[in-house]
Structure 1
């Protein structure tokens, strides 16, 4: 027997072991994971590597013609960090910041060399700190000083205003994991519209319990966000159901791959654009423009609006979450019906039809 004859069976055996250990399907799944990994890195680093203010709303109160001139100067700053406009008086400016309608307000005192800057800590520490640093530099160039007044400060248990972000992340992760587990255990695609309805209905009590438990943790247990228990629980229930419905919809469209697509929407894309680590106004264009229209960003805005801004502006984030949830339900129901009619699904779990027992008259 030659050396070549000896090596050939060894090579064949090795390749057989490789094929046995790594199936072709597994190879493509791992390749997909690799793409998700680099998408994760690109999205998070892209969003956070160079934060900066972009057109942050600011009310300006100044005597006579000084107001319009100051507004023009602020709006002409390189990079457009501020979007300023003149308001009538300091009381109006303060109320606008307290209610969340504007992010900041500059009150110029003509009788002093010290001006007042109103900010709202509830909008996020990263944003208020950046505004304060920018306006301090602006004032120093005019040989003036700045007194900063936080008119909507974070609660004692909400360090840097990040509780809303992590609460929303937890809810959304729970929603899509619950839907994904249900899909894995009983098939990623519901076989009929009736079964799709059952799956959606099963998520309702789960979402309600999730919302309540999240509110319990941040309010009576940790004291991070207090005084708005019912509203927080309601937002949580809506978010969890939204995440579950969207996950189920993507599973109907893409099968098991839909779980990966859900990961892209909620984690890779949604989390860095949600306004957590850095406020939305500090993110690059893609994340800044899309963040408020995703469930994660809408959820963070909703919690902050409820807790710190007396629910002002709450209609927009709630509508955003509701639209995603309704779209998910419709896609799941219509998609399941169409797939069933076309005969693409033959069993509850989307797999092969069950084997029937032979009847007595069968040969």
Structure 2
């Protein structure tokens, strides 16, 4: 085997193995290090301050505890997505409130904590954990563990990446590419929402709102990668896959919660389309749009940035055409 060929083969082997390792780390590391980190919860009732101090002493850094006066305000905090759960102190003993729609994984964690909240003097074996836990905003009954919801992010990202590649190399011109991206986003969002709601039954909420959210998610990824290709060429595909597939998807918190991921990566994930789309979907599907402003702004920002890159790439292409035309034109006759 010639030395040049051998070096090329070795380079391909090393490159593929590096990509495999990066993918393994990106997808397995957040799951392996999943734990609460400043997870917002509420403690309410007459003994709220004492319970809050105990939680912070026993689990330092795990929870961001806010004290509220009563159960009503605690329920409002969960419905407004200000907290994932609440401990309500009562004369009969503490009660746990959860919002499994915000994160079934976090709700399960809080249920485990509720098992250790037996009233004073009662043997732990005699306490029914389910009786002391109230699910204020429940997950979809057909997807109680959130497995179906968590599985939505990866197909949306991968299909949007594939759409961007097809649009970038099959169509020419800013108008054609932008129209194609918009059409794919609208039709893809409508079909994905139907699939998630009517067939898989993993999302409640108004169909048009869910479809619009999925359309924004598709447009943010497909439009941005199309713009990167317009400016950078083929390397734009690799850069888009790195940002949205290898980083954005595992850091989205779709299957758990951003506060369950290693920091600051949980926060970083919310600035990328997969994380913003998952958060926005939860808000519009389960919480009547509570806390929808920030993720909506993130998705719109990526869409605008992608459109600007497409325009920039189109302008650069037009400037390059006059310079290339004379070299290919026939020499003038004398």
1:151 to 136, 140, 149: 136
For 2:178 and 2:142, the matched residues in 1 are separated by 35
Question: Mean alpha-carbon deviation: is it higher for 174-183 or for 71-80?
Answer: 71-80
1:263 is displaced (CA, Å) by: 1.2
Find the partner of 2:115 among 131, 136, 143. Answer: 136
Per the alignment, residue 15 of structure 1 pairs with 2
Structure 1 residue 196, shift from structure 2 partner: 2.4
Structure 2 residue aligned with 1:40: 23
Residues 206-265 of structure 1: per-residue CA shift (max 9 Å, x gap): 111100100111122233223421111101111111111111122234321221111111
Residue equivalent to 1:164: 149
Quick check: 290-299 or 32-41, which moved more? Answer: 32-41
Q: CA deviation at 1:79?
A: 3.9
Cα–Cα, structure 1 residues 338 and 31, in superposed 2: closer, same or farther, change >3 Å? Answer: farther
CA distance in 1, matches of 2:205, 2:29: 36
SS at match of 1:240: helix
Q: 1:135 deviation in Å?
A: 4.5
Q: Does 1:67 align with 2:52?
A: no
Aligned residue number for residue 177 of structure 1: 162
Q: Which residue of 2 aligns with 1:9?
A: none
Aligned pair partner of 1:302 in 280, 284, 287: 280
The CA deviation string for residues 257-306 of structure 1, in whole angstroms up to 9 with x for no partner, is 22111111111111111112332111111321211111101111111111
166, 169, 177: which one aligns with 1:199: 177
Aligned residue-pair number:
327
How far the C-alpha of 1:362 sits from its partner, in A, is 5.0
- Which residue is 2:77 aligned to? 96
Q: Which residue of 1 aligns with 2:227?
A: 249
> Structure 1 residue 23: deviation in Å?
9.9
For 1:343-354, list aligned pairs within 5 A: 343=320
CA contact (8 A) 1:167 1:214 kept: no
The counterpart of 2:57, out of the listed 54, 76, 100, is: 76
TM-score (norm 1): 0.80
Corresponding position of 1:267: 245
Residues 153 and 254 of structure 2 are in contact (CA less than 8 Å); yes or no, is this contact kept in structure 1? no
Aligned 8 A contact 1:178 1:244 in 2: yes
Deviation at 1:118, TM superposition (A): 0.4
Q: Which residue of 2 aligns with 1:327?
A: 305
Alignment of 1:95-134 (within 5 A): 95-110=76-91, 112=92, 114-134=93-113
Q: Which residue of 2 aligns with 1:278?
A: 256
Confirm or deny: 8 A CA contact 2:193 2:207 kept in the other structure: yes
Q: Deviations over 1:179-213 (max 9, x none)?
A: 11233445xxx6xxxx1232112211111110010
In the alignment, what sits opposite 2:34? Answer: 51
Counterpart secondary structure, 2:101: helix
Q: Where in structure 2 are there 5+ consecutive unaligned residues?
A: none
Q: Deviations over 1:155-193 (max 9, x none)?
A: 12224123333233322222221111233445xxx6xxx
Asked if structure 1 preserves the Cα contact closer than 8 Å seen for 2:153 and 2:249, the reply is no
Provide the secondary structure at the position in 1 that maps to 2:215.
helix
Q: Residue 64 of structure 2 aligns to a residue in which SS?
A: strand
Q: What are the superposed Cα offsets for residues 122-163 of structure 1, whole Å, 9 maximum, x if unpaired?
A: 1122111112223434x3597676611111111122241233
Q: Secondary structure at the match of 1:160?
A: coil
Counterpart in 2 of 1:10? none
TM-score w.r.t. structure 2 length? Answer: 0.87
Determine the C-alpha separation between the residues in 1 that align with 2:121 and 2:302: 50
